[in-house]
Structure 1
Amino acid sequence: MRARVEELKSRLRCCNTCPHHCEVDRVAGERGFCRTGSNPVVASYGPHFGEESVLVGSKGSGTIFFTYCVMRCVFCQNFEISQLGEGEEITTEALADIMISLQRRGCHNINLVSPTHVIPMIVEAVCLAVPKGLAVPLVYNTGGYEDVATLKLLDGIIDIYMPDVKFADNQKARKYTGCRSYFDVAKAAIREMHRQVGDLRFDSQGLAVKGLLVRHLVLPNNLADSEAVLKFLAEDISPNTVVNIMAQYHPAYRTSHYPELARRIRREEYAHVVEFARALRMDRAMFSLW
């Protein structure tokens, strides 16, 4: 763990933590795409009951919302945090204490939201928290735009990977998220995640303890190319992939500038994606109540 911390922190001096590879010196105060230095910025933390039931249980998922993001989604529903920078810079020691406090409050896991750009600080915090008794699963809650070389340094540390596969078309993804080659990058990342943790597994109470849990948000006008996303998961990753097909899209942030995104999805749009998942025999898919 200590060797990985040092390797990850060294990457901050010419940052290639995420696929943007900005190569700025974050230790010296330079800022790249993520606008974050060498300390994590946290917007909020606490037991969260709005996540998947397999994470929430009876006492909640111990969610830590990191400020800023490696994606700039024009429809982001948490844009005050991810884009506008709402949050407070803290030390890794303080982050470790937050993890311990969430475990003491009974949270079933530590849910790291938008962790990609602060991986070095997270691993250092885990290294500090484990001797203090941290033992609950770590959930890596990401938009799916990940650097595989960085992910390899998380092998054996992260218990549950929860990526959101947002688009199956690179050009659309670039337009709406600012990320180059999004689907190609996300596919490679999810292959690595699955290699590390496998299909999602549960304890005797039905709580997730290890594995891959994928989210996919259905967008209006099939802008996400949902069929291609599901086909990739079923055929390239595993037919047993647990995927939450989400219906809760609503226009937010900058969608007024994009008429094709400026409405909620229709019932028939969501139903079509559900039927396609069933046709692929994705028996572990999760569906939203309309």
Structure 2
Amino acid sequence: MNPHTSLGIAQVVFWAPIVPLAICLMYRNWRYRPRMAWWPMVPLSLMRVAGGGCIIAVESRESFNLGLVIATIVLLNVGAIPLIVNELGFVRAILQDNFSDRPMFHRIVKGIQLSFIPAVALLSTGGGLISSSPTLGRTLALVGYVVFAVILCVLVAMKLYFLTLRSTLLPSSRKAGRPISPSQGRIFTGGLAAAPFLIVRNLYGILEYTKKNWATSEWSPVFGSAVTFAFMALLMEYVAICMWLYVGYTIPPDRGARSAGQRDVETK
């Protein structure tokens, strides 16, 4: 069994339990906005399970299958998108509960949401073209990751700003509904703590497409170093989603920020 096959098996084993946990959390908190803080964990976990299966299939075949390789690359790359969406969801939760009267923040969030469209298109198209048109595919995917890096920097900057105002934030944003560790029980701290892992994950994506000979690069998730991909990509994603799951399950679904009357009429 080669390292990539072992990694594919480990990916399925570790991510399979995340799927029901993410679905249950989404169902638990679905009534209350912003839903963006919870639902991205479902497609991410499903993509990682499917990606692990694709890696196993690629490594177990005696002949080279271009379609399967492309599917694996796209799943492994596009799976990084829900991470950024989830991080944006945490920012929106803080804004909604504490800064609903500041239009500047909401304009920034709207701009980030609009920038997702070209970034997703670039990353998906680049991953699909990496085998047939290596130069074009590599360039498109690299630009997509750079756009996500800029988005991530903006989100981290906003959370650092929220950190300076932590004494004035609502309890829903500062702490969970029951006494737990402050570093794990705060919405903004949970999102900020996950940021370094997202930065490393995005850095891996950028390094993945900086090499001209992508197929022979150690940064290639399919043909490169399995250890590098495991520690700089999959492990970073796994730690981040575990943090978010913990935060999601240890706060009230409505984050305690609404009156009883408002809870009944909350819709997307």
Q: Same fold (TM over 0.5)?
A: no
| Structure with more of its chain in helix, by fraction | 2
Structure exhibiting the larger radius of gyration computed from Cα positions: 2
TM-score by length of 1: 0.27
Whose RCO is larger (CA < 8 A, sep 6+)? 2
Q: TM-score, normalised by structure 2?
A: 0.29
